[in-house]
Structure 1
């Protein structure tokens, strides 16, 4: 949880913080291209994953790609707002996923999570 909540988003925060240094339009075009590829690849990879925590991690990666694309278009305030709302949402999502995994007797594979209403009151 520490990795997804602080370490991954620290790079995005630093890029937002020092966005005045990102004046070079070539760098911004490369950043937009890489962020688009990141969103696409993370979204496709999450569709073929069965581990619940990996799916959540890939959704974080996709959202970080979206933040980078917003930043590369020059909307640093919007990227920071997205970073804050994503952090709150992801913390709640990890707590809910952890509770579901605990109720399912520590099984993280979503293929075995059928009939979850029998485990959760």
Structure 2
């Protein structure tokens, strides 16, 4: 479970390095900040799920967690959507600019396709993770073990979800002094 999330971190670091190679250090820093927001919440949600599952991290045992842990699963799904670049979440603002800049550069067609395949694979395994966690059959010992009774954790996740939703837009205006888009 955590390995899948860590793999997405590596792919995002590769995205940051590719944009650094093109010379856009502000955009790489912007993506680092937005990525840190939704990745922190993603790991908090994963930790909450793993704790409630009795330290089981096998996604094949998870399923239908939305029934017993609705807030955690909603936060987890929003973070996965932000990781995939769903419009108007924090990951969209940075990832969309990176994809646009990579598309406008005169690069080798092989590099272009490898870049888009890596972005597409991130989306594929993020949706696969959400599918296994949120739907499907629950294959663990008992569904009654699960609960969202840790109010401190839920308050922290509630604060971070606000940042995941609105901070991408705010950071884009703070880091870039002009509207940053390709004409």
- Shorter-chain TM-score: which interval? 0.5 to 0.7
Return the structure number with greater helix share.
Answer: 1
TM score, norm. by length of structure 2: 0.36
Give the equivalent residue in structure 2 for 1:100.
49
For structure 1, which segment, 91-100 or 109-118, has the greater mean C-alpha deviation from structure 2 after superposition?
109-118
Give the equivalent residue in structure 2 for 1:68.
17
2:18 and 2:24 map into 1 onto residues whose CA distance is 9
Deviations 1:33-71 (A, max 9, x none): xxxxxxxxxxxxxxxxxxx10001100000000000000
1:72 and 1:80 map into 2 onto residues whose CA distance is 13
Structure 2 gaps, min length 5: 71-183
What is the DSSP-based 3-state SS (H/G/I as helix, E as strand, rest coil) of the residue aligned with 2:28? Answer: helix
Q: Tell me how many residue pairs correspond in the alignment.
A: 70
Structure 1 gaps, min length 5: 1-51
2:64 and 2:34 map into 1 onto residues whose CA distance is 31
TM score, norm. by length of structure 1: 0.54
- RMSD over aligned CA atoms reads 1.3
Give the equivalent residue in structure 1 for 2:40.
91
2:46 and 2:29 map into 1 onto residues whose CA distance is 25
Q: Which has the higher contact order (CA 8 A, sep 6+)?
A: 2
